Structure 1
Amino acid sequence: MTLYVYVDNSNLWIEGRRVSAVRKGMAANAVEAMNRKITDGSWSYDFGKLYEAICPDTAMIGRSALFGSRPPANDSIWELAREEGFEVAVYDRNAANKEKQVDTAISTMMLEDSYEHMKEGDRVVLVSGDRDYLPVIESLRRREIPTTVVFWEHATGRELKQEPVDYIALDSLFDHLTMNRHPAGDQ
């Protein structure tokens, strides 16, 4: 089996910050955090640990790609992703500072890969909970290419948690994924 892995970094990071806010008591639950736009601005995740969690050592990797908005110059996640062998696709935000093109770019790459590279027994791993991916997942299913969706419980569309999609909630991996940051001078 060969895995084809596609990660929506912006959504993963934003929703992880909501989970962290709830865990720190900044919001009573994820719904309140979403409605009140509460996030833990100090939270970040360890890309290498995410990769380990979603890509077992025994799996062959056909492609792994990380998508997101153009990060600040000091954001190291993109370099870490490259070191793990991920292709990186970065898009500029629009004039209203909204992310554009990411979901479409992921969907396009998934379909292109399915026709150009995937074969029977291969599997797609999608790290996003957006229902916009349902048409692509359905297209893959009709061609017998299974999809595993990996994302935060509160931010994953109900349809992405049901057959024929295999769903893995990231919530139980929160502590494992959280980037350990050391205060200045504390090594």
Structure 2
Amino acid sequence: MSSESFSPSRVSSDEEPVYEMANVVKKYGTEELIEYLRSKDLKLTESHFEILRKEKITGPAFLEQTKEDFRSIGLTLGPATVLANVITDLKTSNTPKSNTGLVYVFVDNSNLFIEGKYTVGRIEQAGNFDYQRNSYQLNQLYIDHGRLLSTVLKGRRIGSNSVIVGSRPPPNDSLWDRIRNQGYGVIVYDRIANKEKKADMELGLCIADAVYSKDPGLVLIVAGDGDYSPAINRALHHSWKVEVWFWSSGISGDLMRNSIFFLDNFYRHFTYAYGQDPAGRNYILEITDGETLAKWNDDEVMECFDSLEFFGWWFRKEGPTIYLYFDNKTNSRKAKSWVESNHPDVKVWEIEKRKSWSE
């Protein structure tokens, strides 16, 4: 085999997975093996390499040697020990590690949000109609990242830091409490305007960092861009499992070869709309009691909709007063019963007609 095919520059640790190196070394001839050992800066001299050359030690033969074998062909104790350790490292790293089952989550937040506005808008038939895409676009959509995390984890253990690239979740998003309760932190990279590809590359590098620095687990990516295929393929190559979670209408065909979970089936658990007087939602619950509601954040309101598996839409008015919106009386009354049962200290009023905000 020629040195052109297997020169050391082609098998550096930057380009070849570590656990494949023993298989690569097996293909070396004597000169290729010597060049490989020389590139590792083992403090060996030309006289040591000359012994290997004289004995015609090729890659396959090299991997079968012991320290005693190297001593028997004329190498002194120091170089013999160094070469024996190289062989041990190659054989150890060539054994695939068992999968830990830990889940490492990577979210392209802008990708998630942009496609989510169309998918949820289409399902809920809400928002403005985009004639170019022939779909509703729900610009009032919000994402609760903490509930998203719980949805995709499905009770599994999270491994190390979750990574979000894109718009920074607000301080009151339940993401922070959910991550903190599990003893981990979140790494958030803000997406720079007009730098979409740069942010995609950042997330891809974060995936690669986990793959190379952690024992194999599960890469769970919430994104639909085909640009993530190289990072995903690298993870699979290193004995990792991969799941892709995204909206059905926005996922690249390049990602469809992986385990796919469509967020369309789960959106009520982690998305909601915020804004007053939405069209088509004529059944309203008005919740009042200043002292109690003043302590509520979005998570308390979301809990009502999530528990009932309704898509949440609400608006908070100064007072404080919260309005919950529904498209039918049955759902409105179910929500009223839920609020009264779980929060008996608040007052809930049913409004069956659109109410003027000037009243």
TM-score under structure 2 length normalisation = 0.44
What is the deviation of 1:106?
0.4
User: Which residue identity lines up with residue 231 of structure 2 in the other structure?
Assistant: V
2-structure distance, mates of 1:152, 1:160: 12
CA-CA distance at 1:22 after TM superposition: 1.1
Query: Could you say if the C-alpha distance between residues 33 and 150 of structure 1 is closer, same or farther in structure 2, counting changes exceeding 3 Å?
Result: farther
- Against the structure 1 CA distance between its residues 80 and 33, is the aligned structure 2 distance closer, same or farther, given a 3 Å change threshold? farther
Out of 91, 112, 119, the residue aligned to residue 19 of structure 1 is 119
The number of equivalent residue pairs is 173
CA distance in 2, matches of 1:79, 1:24: 23
Q: Against the structure 1 CA distance between its residues 128 and 33, is the aligned structure 2 distance closer, same or farther, given a 3 Å change threshold? A: farther
Amino acid in structure 2 at the alignment position of 1:55: L
Aligned residue in 1 for 2:291:
none
The percent identity for this pair of structures is 24
Counterpart in the other structure of 1:6: 106
Is the 8 Å Cα contact of residues 247 and 263 (structure 2) preserved in structure 1?
A: yes
Q: Where does residue 112 of structure 1 map in the other structure?
A: 209
Partner of 1:182: 314
Q: Are the structure 2 counterparts of residues 167 and 34 from structure 1 closer, same or farther at C-alpha, using a change threshold of 3 Å?
A: farther
Q: How far apart, in 2, do the equivalents of 1:126 and 1:140 lie? A: 12
Matched letter for residue 39 of structure 1: Q
The answer on 1:103 being equivalent to 2:200 is yes
Q: CA deviation at 1:141?
A: 1.2
Q: What is the CA distance between 1:111 and its match in structure 2?
A: 0.5
Distance 1:140 1:10, change over 3 A: same
State the alpha-carbon separation in 2 of the partners of residues 109 and 22 from structure 1: 32
Change (3 A) 1:107 1:16: same
| Alignment partners' CA distance in 2, 1:128 and 1:34 | 23
Q: Which has the higher contact order (CA 8 A, sep 6+)?
A: 1
- In the other structure, the counterpart of 1:173 is 266
Is the 2:106–2:163 contact (alpha carbons within 8 Å) kept by the matching residues of 1?
A: yes
Partner SS, residue 162 of structure 2: strand
Tell me by how many angstroms 1:78 deviates: 8.3
Tell me how far apart the structure 2 counterparts of residues 78 and 33 of structure 1 sit (CA, whole Å): 35
**CA offsets 1:38-77 (integer angstroms, 9 cap, x no match):** 52111112212101111233424222011114x6xxx627
| CA RMSD, 1 decimal | 2.6
2:142 maps to 1:59: no
Q: Secondary structure at the match of 2:314?
A: coil
1:54 partner letter: V
CA deviation map 1:140-168 (0-9, x unaligned): 11111111000001111123122xx1111
- Greater Rg over alpha carbons, structure: 2
CA contact (8 A) 1:91 1:100 kept: no
User: 1:19/1:112 Cα in 2 relative to 1: closer, same or farther (>3 Å)?
Assistant: same
> Shift in Å at residue 37 of structure 1?
8.2
1:49 to 147, 150, 173: 147
Q: State the SS of the aligned residue for 2:204.
A: helix
8 Å contact kept, 2:102–2:156: no
Answer whether contact 2:165 2:199 (CA < 8 A) is retained. yes
Gap runs ≥5 in structure 1 = none
- Secondary structure of the residue aligned to 2:114 is helix
Report SS of the residue matched to 1:93.
coil
Per the alignment, residue 133 of structure 1 pairs with 228
The residue that corresponds to 1:151 in the other structure is: 246
Aligned AA for 1:65?
V
Whether contact under 8 Å (2:224, 2:252) holds in the other structure is yes
Say if 2:146 and 2:176, in contact at 8 Å, map to a contact too. Answer: no
Specify whether residues 176 and 34 from structure 1 end up closer, same or farther in structure 2 by C-alpha distance, changes over 3 A only. Answer: farther
Letter aligned with residue 156 of structure 1: I
Contact 1:68 1:89 in 2 (8 A): yes
Superposition deviation, residue 82 in structure 1: 3.8
The one-letter code matched in structure 1 to 2:121 is A
1:57–1:25 distance in 2 versus 1, CA, 3 Å: closer
